[in-house]
Structure 1
Amino acid sequence: MESLVSTEWLAGESITSDLRIIDASSHLPDAKRDARAEFEAGHICGAIFMDLAGLIDDDAPVENTLPSPEKFASRMALLGLGDGSRIVLYDDSAIHSAARAWFVLKLFGAQNVAILDGGLAKWKAEGRPLTAEPIDLRKRHFTAWHNAKSLRSKAQMLANIQSRAEQVVDARGAARYAGTAPEPRAGMQPGHIPGALNLPYTQLYNADGTFKDKAGIRAAFEDAGVDLSRPIVTSCGSGVTACVLIFALHLVGKSDVALYDGSWAEWGADPQTPKETGASPAISH
């Protein structure tokens, strides 16, 4: 199974014991949408709801922090996701949250994980069927392990400002990156991590919500000033859309990529962290 599958492929794939379809929709609070209620009203046949927004460390001081491996394994087992499962993720979200689900699953050891290109919107636009019927879930064993190499802490990001060993790429919109638009979270200072480049995640998609081809993805990163031969750390508002960048880089074969999970929710809330404002260096001239 490829990492990016088409609606045609999924429609033609029979639901077998090893295939799991997951609705990984999650929305920002200002969207005023209920992902679970929308799932229950209509979803792809055989799909289960992941509740990505609830798959977090409730005790962490920063919102949307990744859960422990134990919590993640327990949740996956209850969803019927076991070792060896083929997993296809989709969403119906402006923040393309399936990419976050893909990153989390890969981080905790899932091997065969794909995203439905174009998500639920493309599925519906093509007139493909939906159902409101739930499926019976049989608990399976999911062995979780934690790939810490794929994550960066605030301390590591602070050290990187001096070393510049890794390129930091911010997935937020240009105005939030520049500090000219207000942050959606209270208490956030404006701007970006010093030295970070800006590639809004929306620039990696075609008009129909499908991913750009490999040449288009490479061009988007290069136009943002990113050197694809060097290591990359991605960041955003709270660690969700930064995963879109990571998945796109995966599609072009780049693996030396990590996520700053705390992102601006952590960095912007700390008065001691340095901040920059202004347009990205790649476009400031």
Structure 2
Amino acid sequence: MSDDPKTLVSTDWLAAHLKDPDLRILDASWYIPGTGRDARAEYEAAHIPGARFFDIDEISDARSDMAHMAPPPEKFMSRMRAMGVGDGHQVVVYDGHGMLSAPRVWWTFRLMGHRDVAVLDGGFPKWQAEDRVVEDLPPVIKDRHLTARFQNNLVRDVTQVSRASKLGSPQIVDARTAARFRGDAPEPREGLRAGHIPGSRNVPYDTLLNEDKTMKSPDETRAIFAAAGVDLSQPIITSCGSGITAAVLALALERMGHDSWSLYDGSWAEWGMSPMVPVATGDA
């Protein structure tokens, strides 16, 4: 792969830059409740040297009754300053799954106006498989001011998505499994209807990944979107279960050079719960 510090970097790239003074590494591991994995405990046991733990559930909008909605800029700035992440830093985000939740944090930085942020391709599993150095020490942190410039164009709410569903534009692309998209499989969260947003297309996030959880090439991902009926010349809204894997699609789109995308933050956790919006079942 070709390394791009604004989207995706390899383990080789990170190893070569590990001691750069303006590099900040974030462990953004997050697991669906009930999987038996504790992201913070795993971080404390072993992480890439210097990595800080980014708690997706805590660095969120506490005013919302939905999980891990994007934080207000003021909260984001405060949390990043306390973590020693600030203006002028190159940020690299990874997760313990390989490629699951790290793109969500990449998107959050982009939402706050920061472009010098990349996801580690293959994440912590690839780093460990290559027998690279890890540590269990907490990082030494020095406060660093971070400026947030909220980018409204990168996020969409239920009203905007409902309008897109009715008008057919922007296109809505769902990152959930095909079975959940069709409504054949139950949702992991209680109280949600099964199915998908009317008019949306389905690109399961893991179809964009290789076996080692690295992202497929831009040409391969472009073909996958096209095969799902997505017109890559038009704007796209990405969606998923709760706004996590929708960011995998957003990262793939950005890497392909598609710069007219946004993410539905509430995703199916919001849409599937609301009796005010329609649900479709079956294939797109």
What secondary structure does 1:21 align onto? Answer: strand
- Identity over the aligned pairs, expressed in percent? 48
Paired amino acid for 1:279: D
Residue 236 (str. 1) matches residue 226 (str. 2):
no
Paired amino acid for 2:109: L
> Aligned pair in 2 of structure 1 residues 184, 94: CA closer, same or farther (>3 Å)?
farther
RMSD, matched Cα: 1.2
- Who is 2:65 aligned against? 61
In structure 1, C-alpha distance between the alignment counterparts of 2:132 and 2:263, rounded to whole Å: 35
How much has 1:52 moved relative to structure 2? 1.7
How much has 1:16 moved relative to structure 2? 2.7
Shifted more, 60-69 versus 164-173: the winner is 60-69
- Who is 2:26 aligned against? 22
Match of 1:70 among 71, 74, 81: 74
**What per-residue deviation string (whole Å, max 9, x for no partner) do you get for residues 229-272 of structure 1?**
01100100000000000000011101100111010110000112
- Who is 1:283 aligned against? none
- Who is 1:127 aligned against? 131
Unpaired runs of 5+ residues, structure 2, are none
Residue 206 (str. 1) matches residue 213 (str. 2):
no
Contact 1:15–1:46, Cα closer than 8 Å, also in 2: no
In structure 1, C-alpha distance between the alignment counterparts of 2:92 and 2:170, rounded to whole Å: 31
In structure 2, C-alpha distance between the alignment counterparts of 1:13 and 1:150, rounded to whole Å: 29
- Who is 2:8 aligned against? 4
In structure 1, C-alpha distance between the alignment counterparts of 2:168 and 2:150, rounded to whole Å: 26
Contact 1:95–1:240, Cα closer than 8 Å, also in 2: no
- Who is 2:200 aligned against? 196
- The 4+ residue runs of structure 1 with deviation greater than 3 A are none
Match of 2:50 among 46, 53, 63: 46
Contact 1:171–1:241, Cα closer than 8 Å, also in 2: yes
How much has 1:41 moved relative to structure 2? 0.2
Contact 2:9–2:118, Cα closer than 8 Å, also in 1: yes
What secondary structure does 2:34 align onto? Answer: helix
Match of 1:100 among 86, 97, 104: 104
> Aligned pair in 2 of structure 1 residues 150, 14: CA closer, same or farther (>3 Å)?
closer
In structure 1, C-alpha distance between the alignment counterparts of 2:98 and 2:194, rounded to whole Å: 22
In structure 2, C-alpha distance between the alignment counterparts of 1:157 and 1:223, rounded to whole Å: 23
In structure 1, C-alpha distance between the alignment counterparts of 2:11 and 2:40, rounded to whole Å: 22
What secondary structure does 1:215 align onto? Answer: helix
**What per-residue deviation string (whole Å, max 9, x for no partner) do you get for residues 161-198 of structure 1?**
22112110000000110011011111101100000000
Residue 277 (str. 1) matches residue 277 (str. 2):
no
Paired amino acid for 1:157: V
How much has 1:132 moved relative to structure 2? 0.6
In structure 2, C-alpha distance between the alignment counterparts of 1:155 and 1:6, rounded to whole Å: 38
In structure 2, C-alpha distance between the alignment counterparts of 1:110 and 1:160, rounded to whole Å: 27
Contact 1:27–1:95, Cα closer than 8 Å, also in 2: no
**What per-residue deviation string (whole Å, max 9, x for no partner) do you get for residues 198-233 of structure 1?**
000000101111110111110110111111001100
Q: How many residues align?
A: 280
**What per-residue deviation string (whole Å, max 9, x for no partner) do you get for residues 141-179 of structure 1?**
011121111111111111112211211000000011001
Contact 1:24–1:52, Cα closer than 8 Å, also in 2: yes
- Who is 1:112 aligned against? 116
Contact 2:57–2:67, Cα closer than 8 Å, also in 1: no
Contact 1:56–1:66, Cα closer than 8 Å, also in 2: yes
- Who is 1:245 aligned against? 249
Contact 1:27–1:94, Cα closer than 8 Å, also in 2: no
How much has 1:10 moved relative to structure 2? 1.1
In structure 2, C-alpha distance between the alignment counterparts of 1:173 and 1:33, rounded to whole Å: 21
> Aligned pair in 2 of structure 1 residues 275, 164: CA closer, same or farther (>3 Å)?
same
